[in-house]
Amino acid sequence: DYELCEEWGHLYPVPREDLINLHREHLLHLLEMGDMEKALQLLQRIEDPGVCLAISEQSLDQHLNLAASHFLADYLTAHFYASLTTARRNEIQALYIGSKVLLTLPELSRVNYVHLSSRPLLMLEQLLMNMKVDWVAVAVQTLHQLLAGQEVGFTVEDIDNLLSKYAEKALNFPFTLKEKRS
């Protein structure tokens, strides 16, 4: 049905908003089905870059599954980086990085952290507080690789400061030594 509507749009004038809605719904359907290849083909078929940007951003704001969010954040960053405001660019890159970190976690545990996908530092802090040290090690390594030469609102130093803070807290002993009684 989507493809038929798309063909109809090529034959007859369709208002811009209706065209955006059609493509957005089609894109969301494809992403829901997990068909990233067809989703990419759909985005590449859209001739007007403004329409493509609107569709991609609106779809990203739908809070899709992890793979779909990762796909759209990557697409927006790769194709519309210069068109985005600095704040929106940082938001999208943080979502991309957060989803990449989530993908490093064991699959059954991702659901516990998916709500933090757009806030990678907070996700890292939550992992530290939950004593998931092995996961933190992998997450930090991933973050170091992804942050190389990028601006996303936080830096490698912010990660190091967070790790130092929790390492210091781990060494604090809140009790005093008792004297031996005879």
Q: End-to-end alpha-carbon separation of the chain, Å? A: 87
The pLDDT of residue 158: 85
Tokens 């089905």, located at residue: 33
- The domain locations on the chain are 1-84, 86-170
Q: Token pair of 80, please?
A: 């519309």
Q: Token pair of 89, please?
A: 């660019």
The pLDDT of residue 53: 92
Please count the other Cβ atoms lying within 10 Å of the Cβ belonging to residue 28.
17
Q: What is the pTM of this model?
A: 0.75
Q: Could you list the mean pLDDT of each consecutive 10-residue stretch along the chain, which spans 182 residues?
A: 77 84 90 90 88 90 84 90 86 87 88 87 89 88 80 79 84 66 61
